[in-house]
Amino acid sequence: MNLITYKEGATLFQSIRTTKFKSMRIQLRFFSELTAKEATAKTLMLGMLSAKNDAYPTRRELLRKLETLFDTRLYGRSVKLGKKHVAQIDMQFVNPKYTDIPATFMNEVIDHLETTLTRPLFDEASLKEEKRFLNDHFASEYANKDIYASRRYQTLLFKDHPYRVPANGERDFVEGITLEDIKDAYHSMHEDPLVISNVGDGNKTLETEVKKRFKSKGKGTLEAFLVRQKFQAREDVHETLKLSQDRLFMTLESDTYYTDKDVWAMRVLNTLFGGTSESMLFESVRETHGLAYQVASSYQPFTSLITAMAGVSHENVEKAKSLVREELEKLKNGAFSDDDLDIAKKNLAQSIKKSYDTENSLAIKAFVSELFDVPLEKEDVLALLEDVNRDDIKRLARTLRWVFTYVLGGTSHA
Amino acid sequence: MHKHEYAAYDETFYEFSVQGRLKVYVVPKPGFAKTFVSASVPLGSVHEGYLDENKKPVNVPRGVAHFLEHKLFEHEGKDISKVFSKYEASVNAYTDHHQTTYLFSATGHVLENTKRLINMMYAPRITEEGVEKEKPIIIEELNMHGDDPYYHAHRALLKNMYTVHPLRDEVLGTKESINAMTKEALIAMHEAYYTPENTEVIIVGDVDLKAIEQSLNEGLTLPKKAEKTPMPIKEEVSKSVNTPFETDTYDMETPLLMMGIKLPRTTFKGDAPIMNFLKYSIALEAALSTSSKAYESLLEKGLVNDAFGVDVIFETSYAHGLMFAETSDVNGLRHAVQDILETAREEGISEEAFTHVKRKMIGHHISLFDKLESLASEINDYLQFNLYFHDLPSMLESIELSEINEALKSIDADTIAFYGGLPKGTK
């Protein structure tokens, strides 16, 4: 990867130079502690920043300006990385050479981003509108029962955990946020450690101007922020809601976190267990027993947890649970073929290679490599994957503990 | 092999045919690790059956296209996905109203995987046991959508718009039709629709062109000409909608409103349908997108939030415009949108708005060249109308403002249907 890194105070600037894209990207990520009220205020503030400003005082004027810049996209949103809140401002635009104003286009884009950051328009009417949007967004999560079930599961699972707060904050805090809170959130964001990522063809104007114009005013630096917190096994929860299909979540705790040497072996284990449509869960729950259309597992290395998920008819929930447990026992006993292990590793290798094909993924790779001292180059990552063997899988499977099961559904079928 | 160059965007694509029957389009993407390949056949949920050897129409259970998509992955009793994975590819497929598309993305073995994909499509190994095994899985897929009010609202809107067109039917079929599916129906539909002449293969990635052409020409055994043939799609006879407005209640908190506008596919004599698609897209974008004056006024009145969008869909047997909105006042928004469209019909759009939308569309067009899957999908959409997606800028250039305003004028009030989704307990 052709990566330029530059640090100044609390700002880390990275430019990834590549000519394979027609678009370019600037991303600003401000890192802060994740608390419910702060996350809610920052989500509202980011929405306001990206909708209007002093130069473009209405949504329409601002959006039309971006559209005039060949459909440039500007997003301000909250993201969660481990226990950190990330206030992310993301600008995507076409390479100036494909526009009819190649000499001035880049400056116009950077000017616009600077205006977004430095000339906010915080007023009561805009806050009211943004609150309405955020409240509606929370409300719409209930309409989508996959999202709702997942939210309920996360809330119950992480109830005593530092990772429990959602990126967008919580619905209960929305009404209480004042204009002063928004201004505080804005000013504190400028003091937060900042990671700037450019992805593009190495345009000098872009690199020089972004480096010059965007800096954190803070004095601290961004430190690695992994939390290792053990989960206590707890009572299963079954919540009742009339659904056409029950949603089942089963949680396994491991001892393997993001920076641990076994993290790639754990990723292979998860891929083999339920990570793809070639996995053991897919083969058993869907293909052999025909209980589900969707069944999968995911591994979250920041929490060490693996979650198995399935959508099954109510009468099949107990059978699905027992099949998921059976598949874990097979992993522990090494009851999987070399071929299946090879396929899991190949699937993961594919994902790794493909992840170098998107601008966002390149930007994330660059800063997490800097922050957590994990490999950046594709070949180095693939070498770690290649080292994983069957004994690693058996050994790690034996460290896994069931800690929580959640089911939503369980009434008569629609 | 025919080469098409687009120097303004540093883009090129190639087309060739395999054994004079199967059309292949290749878009080179130097530097990308991933190659994306799709192959589409014109069999979707609107195809209700086939013509037999004597040209007699034979109807089959609904959802046949989607069921067939599932079964083509079965290879000697096993899912063929594992074989693709062994050769560095992730395979998948989807069925929509008009097409079934098989696809993979790969980081190696592109030639072998492309041949594997095409062979998988043309050489079904459907067994009675396999058909029975698949039924509960597809019913669970249907159940997955059962709790989604947006999905139901979209389905209901299509029913309200169309009187007889099979677009009214569910892509997956119903529980009854899925349970009624037979091996014979699947095989017959496969024979009628899965022909090389009907298939379009699109390859996007960092590939060796010559090797692909040679490998496909020499390494594929294409099926013999079919005796069964596609059955014509039932045509919508009515220009106006079936039910102009309807509501239903769902387990949700925020009400929603969907609007559908039945569009003519050939308003302008001699125009290709895709040109109509572009004209109506510009018209609706200028009149009702999130950067329009109309949306601004709806926001000010508190009738909409930021979950709002308009879109235009053109297929070979139907065309319509769609609007989706969350709203606290379904009726208020419905009347406001009716007024907006009426004003747009009467006043037309300005030259400035017309130029603005075209510039935005060109920006979006350029950005799609970085998104391999979306690019292949767009290319496929345009190929249905025998046009090239790469030519979009020149097509936009050829459109005049008067044509946009003519398109707006063609939208009559009786071609518009609304569907409201309300929270349970709403009166």
Interval B169-178: pLDDT, tens: 999 999 999 9
Residues A197 and A266 both lie in one domain: no
Give dist(CA B364, CA B392) in Å, integer.
11
Q: What is the ipTM of this complex?
A: 0.93
Residues A164 and A286 both lie in one domain: no
Q: What is the pLDDT of residue A1?
A: 87
B305 vs A67, A132, A287: nearest CB: A132
Q: Which residues contact A190 (CB under 8 A, 6 or more apart)?
A: A30, A216, A217, A218
Give dist(CA B81, CA A343) in Å, integer.
10
Residues A133 and A178 both lie in one domain: yes
CB contact under 8 A, A346 and B86: yes
Measured in whole angstroms, the distance separating CA B387 from the mean position of its chain's CA atoms is 16
Query: Which two structure tokens, joined as six digits, stand for A130?
Result: 């943004």
Q: What is the pLDDT of residue A412?
A: 44
Q: What is the pLDDT of residue B265?
A: 67
Residues A183 and A250 both lie in one domain: no
> Which region holds residue A169: left if phi is over 0, alpha if psi is between -120 and 50, else beta?
left
Q: Which residues of B touch A244 (CB under 8 A)?
A: 143, 146-147
Q: What is the pLDDT of residue A411?
A: 64
CA quadruple B58, B61, B66, B71: dihedral positive or negative?
negative
Helix runs in B181-231, H state only? 183-193, 209-219
Q: What is the pLDDT of residue A161?
A: 84
Measured in whole angstroms, the distance separating CA A217 from the mean position of its chain's CA atoms is 26
Query: Among all residues of chain A, which has the CA nearest to that of B206?
Result: A20
Q: Which residues of A touch B299 (CB under 8 A)?
A: 59, 129
Give dist(CA B157, CA B323) in Å, integer.
11
Residue B246 CB-half CA count within 13 A: 17
Q: Which residues contact A369 (CB under 8 A, 6 or more apart)?
A: A375, A376
**Is residue A226 one of the residues assigned to a domain?**
no
Give dist(CA A57, CA A60) in Å, integer.
9
CB-CB contact of B101 with B36 (8 Å): no
Query: What DSSP state is assigned to residue B413?
Result: G
Give dist(CA A302, CA A157) in Å, integer.
14
Section B308-333 average pLDDT: 95
B2-230 shares its CATH topology with B245-423: yes
What residues does A380 pair with on adjacent strands? Answer: none
**Is residue A221 one of the residues assigned to a domain?**
no
Residues A206 and A134 both lie in one domain: yes
Q: Which residues contact B232 (CB under 8 A, 6 or more apart)?
A: none
Task: Give the architecture-level CATH label for domain B2-230.
Answer: 2-Layer Sandwich (3.30)
Residues A173 and A261 both lie in one domain: no
**Does B269 score more than 70 pLDDT?**
no
Among A26, A24, A27, smallest CA distance to A94 is for: A24
Using only the alpha carbons of chain A, give its radius of gyration: 23
Q: What is the pLDDT of residue A92?
A: 97
Q: Which residues of B touch A144 (CB under 8 A)?
A: 148, 150
Angle at the Cα of B305 (from B304 to B309), degrees rounded to 5?
Answer: 80
In chain A, % helix, strand, coil (3-state, to 5) comes to 45, 20, 30
B36 touching A, CB under 8 A? no
B296 vs A58, A71, A287: nearest CB: A58
The percent of residues above 70 in pLDDT, for chain B, comes to 98
Select the residue from A20, A90, A282 to test the B interface by mutation, using most B Cβ atoms within 10 A.
Answer: A20
Using only the alpha carbons of chain B, give its radius of gyration: 23
CB-CB contact of B420 with B157 (8 Å): no
Residues A257 and A144 both lie in one domain: no
**Is residue A231 one of the residues assigned to a domain?**
no
Give dist(CA A10, CA A12) in Å, integer.
7
Q: Which residues of B touch A356 (CB under 8 A)?
A: 33
**What's the pLDDT band for B384 if we cut at 50, 70, 90?**
confident
- The torsion angle over the Cα atoms of residues A288, A291, A292 and A295, rounded to 10 degrees, is -60
Residues A178 and A278 both lie in one domain: no
Per the structure, the complete domain to which residue A125 belongs is given by 3-213
The residues in B 154-213 lying below 8 A from A, measured between CB atoms, are none
Give dist(CA A163, CA A276) in Å, integer.
26
Residues A299 and A199 both lie in one domain: no
Give dist(CA A131, CA A177) in Å, integer.
9
**Is residue A241 one of the residues assigned to a domain?**
yes
CB-CB contact of A37 with A172 (8 Å): no
Section B397-417 average pLDDT: 94
Section B315-336 average pLDDT: 95
Section B328-352 average pLDDT: 96
Give dist(CA A6, CA A310) in Å, integer.
45
What are the extents of the domains in chain B? 2-230, 245-423
**Is residue A189 one of the residues assigned to a domain?**
yes
What residues does B322 pair with on adjacent strands? Answer: B260, B311
Tokens 């599961």 map to which residue? A153
A317-332 and A390-397 helices cross at what angle (nearest 10)? Answer: 130
Query: Among all residues of chain B, which has the CA nearest to that of A25?
Result: B367
The residues in B 56-75 lying below 8 A from A, measured between CB atoms, are none
User: Roughly how many angstroms between the first and final C-alpha of chain A, as a whole number?
Assistant: 52
CB contact under 8 A, A350 and B88: yes
**What's the pLDDT band for B35 if we cut at 50, 70, 90?**
very high
Per-residue b/e over B353-373, b at no fewer than 16 CB within 10 Å?
A: bbebbbbbbbbebbbbbbbbe
Residues A209 and A128 both lie in one domain: yes
Task: Name the minimum distance, in Å, from the CA of B65 to any CA of chain A.
Answer: 17
> Which region holds residue B348: left if phi is over 0, alpha if psi is between -120 and 50, else beta?
left
Q: What is the pLDDT of residue B271?
A: 61
Section B100-116 average pLDDT: 97
pTM of the predicted model as reported, rounded to 2 decimal places: 0.94
Residues A137 and A261 both lie in one domain: no
Angle at the Cα of B221 (from B220 to B225), degrees rounded to 5?
Answer: 130
Query: Among all residues of chain A, which has the CA nearest to that of B297?
Result: A60
CB-CB contact of A323 with A284 (8 Å): yes
CB contact under 8 A, A342 and B149: no
Q: What is the pLDDT of residue A414?
A: 37
CB contact under 8 A, B140 and A311: yes
B10 touching A, CB under 8 A? yes
Residues A179 and A31 both lie in one domain: yes
Per-residue b/e over A308-339, b at no fewer than 16 CB within 10 Å?
A: bbbbbbbebbeebbebbeebbeebeeeebeee
Query: Among all residues of chain B, which has the CA nearest to that of A343?
Result: B86
Please state the domain count of chain A: 2
Tokens 């072998």 map to which residue? B112
Residue B92's φ and ψ, nearest 5 degrees, are -160, 180
Strand A305-312 with A246-253, pairing: antiparallel
Q: What is the pLDDT of residue B426?
A: 76
Interval B71-97: pLDDT, tens: 999 987 788 999 999 999 999 999 999
Among B302, B306, B325, B322, smallest CA distance to B314 is for: B322
Q: Which residues contact A249 (CB under 8 A, 6 or more apart)?
A: A149, A150, A153, A157, A307, A308, A309, A405, A406, A407
Query: Which two structure tokens, joined as six digits, stand for B142?
Result: 């249907």
Interval B168-216: pLDDT, tens: 999 999 999 999 999 999 999 999 999 999 999 999 999 999 999 999 9
Among B27, B53, B49, B51, smallest CA distance to B38 is for: B27
Residue segments in chain A with a per-residue pLDDT below the cut of 70 = 411-414
CA quadruple A396, A401, A404, A408: dihedral positive or negative?
positive
CATH number attached to the domain at B245-423 = 3.30.830.10
CATH of the domain at A131: 3.30.830.10
Task: Name the minimum distance, in Å, from the CA of B412 to any CA of chain A.
Answer: 28
Could you give the 3-state DSSP secondary structure of residue B171?
A: coil
Q: What is the pLDDT of residue A82?
A: 85
In chain B, % helix, strand, coil (3-state, to 5) comes to 45, 20, 35
